[in-house]
Amino acid sequence: LGKRLARLRDAQTETRDGVAIRLHANAEMPADIARARLCGAASIGLYRTEFLFLQRREIPGEEEQFLAYRDLVLGMGGLPVTIRTLDVGADKADASGLALEDEPNPALGIRGVRLALRHPQLMITQLRAILRASSYGPVRILVPMITLVEEILSVRRMLDECARDLRSTGHEIAGHVELGAMIEVPAAAIALGGMIRHVDFISIGTNDLVQYTLAADRANDNLGTLYDPLHPAVLKLLAQIIAIARRAKRPVTLCGEMAGDTRYTALLLALGLTDLSMHPGVLLEVRDQIGRLEHAALRRQAPVLLRATNHARITGVLQRMQA
Ligand code: PEP
Ligand code: MG
């Protein structure tokens, strides 16, 4: 497999019947950029900015963040970079610079955009830094934990204001920087129809979407098989998200761990996804897997998958699809 994977580095990502799929890299530290380039990722589909904020006493200032994002953009040599705004909450004890209050249930508490909107200066500093980096290459901004349409509207207002301020003080920034929402809270998935026109793109965060849909902590191993991407409710939500995005002509990427797990590749293609973002270490395996799949046949099976009533039946359909 080693040699085969090496050959896959420079290969196109396409199914056996020639349908192009784009594979993007998730990155959480500067070293991931080289890895993404090495395996031929189409872009950085998810840049987690948390590393800039963790294990330190001070919140990084605009200049420090700008330099980090600029290097990231330059490192990708003209390929797009989707930078996610800060996604921490009280569960990240080492985010000490943020002075977070203890919460009884951090996963359901002040994390992601909720934190950012309570500390506007935190968000403004990050948005300004990202906007300044946008003059060095294509950049998109992705907002985590969106639950309400008002949250997106608030971030959009802040973004517009930051862009105006930067331009008026002589900074060069890109003409239009796209703003997207992570769809990882079930409410956002269910009510996506009323939200989608306010965003330029969406990214499905299945790590959290599965956790919140099944009320099963993603980090609790004692739950065993309860945390399950193959629960029928998860498939239905994914299908609905994809359908709404398609109708509204908004690009959709899936960036949870599911995207990088070859057990789920056929399922994700069957549901109509064409953009998957994953850890660079698994990208070539997924590309290899896609080359074995027949896209048209998978798409025909989508209704069958969506009718299956439990994990075992869904797995059964998936096995028949790939036989
Ligand atoms: C997700 O929730 O699927 C996701 C990609 O974000 P994170 O794992 O950083 O919460
Ligand atoms: Mg998440």
ipTM above 0.95, yes or no: yes
Q: How far is CA 292 from CA 18, 153, 230, 252, in A?
A: 11, 42, 21, 23
pLDDT digits (tens, 9 = 90+) for 91-116: 776 766 787 888 999 999 999 999 99
Predicted confidence (pLDDT) per residue in 227-280, tens digit: 999 999 999 999 999 999 999 999 999 999 999 999 999 999 999 999 999 999
Nearest CA to ligand 1 atom 1: 205
- For the record, the structure tokens of 190 come out as 């269910």
CA of 300 to the centre of ligand 2 (A): 30
Instruction: Give yes or no for residue 1 having a pLDDT over 70.
Output: no
What is the per-residue pLDDT across 138-179, written as a single tens digit (0 to 9) for each? 999 999 999 999 999 999 999 999 999 999 999 999 999 999
Q: Which residue did the predictor score with more confidence, 197 or 4?
A: 197
Cα–Cα distance for residue pair 236/192, rounded to 1 Å: 13
Question: Which residues lie across from 27 on neighbouring strands?
Answer: 47
Please answer whether residues 313 and 59 qualify as being in contact, where contact means their C-beta atoms are separated by less than 8 angstroms. no
Q: 291: closest CA among 27, 87, 20?
A: 20
What residues are neighbours of ligand 2 (ion), with CB under 5 Å?
A: 184, 205, 208
Q: Long-range contacts of range 150-155, CB-CB < 8 Å, 24 or more positions apart?
A: 151/113, 151/114, 151/117, 152/179, 152/181, 152/195, 152/198, 152/199, 153/198, 154/117, 155/85, 155/113, 155/116, 155/117, 155/123, 155/127, 155/179
162 annotated active-site:
no
Q: Which one of the ligands is nearest to 50 CA?
A: 1
Percentage of residues in the chain having pLDDT higher than 90: 89
pTM of whole model > 0.90? yes
What per-residue confidence (pLDDT) applies to 57?
85
pLDDT at 90 over 80: no
Burial of 207 (0-12, 13-18, 19+ CB in 10 A): middle
Interval between CA 184 and ligand 2 midpoint (Å): 6
| pLDDT exceeds 80 at position 2 | no
Joined together, the tokens standing for residue 176 give 């239009």
Any idea of the CA torsion for 278, 284, 287, 293, to the nearest 10 degrees?
-110
Q: Catalytic residue among 255, 270, 276, 278, which?
A: 255
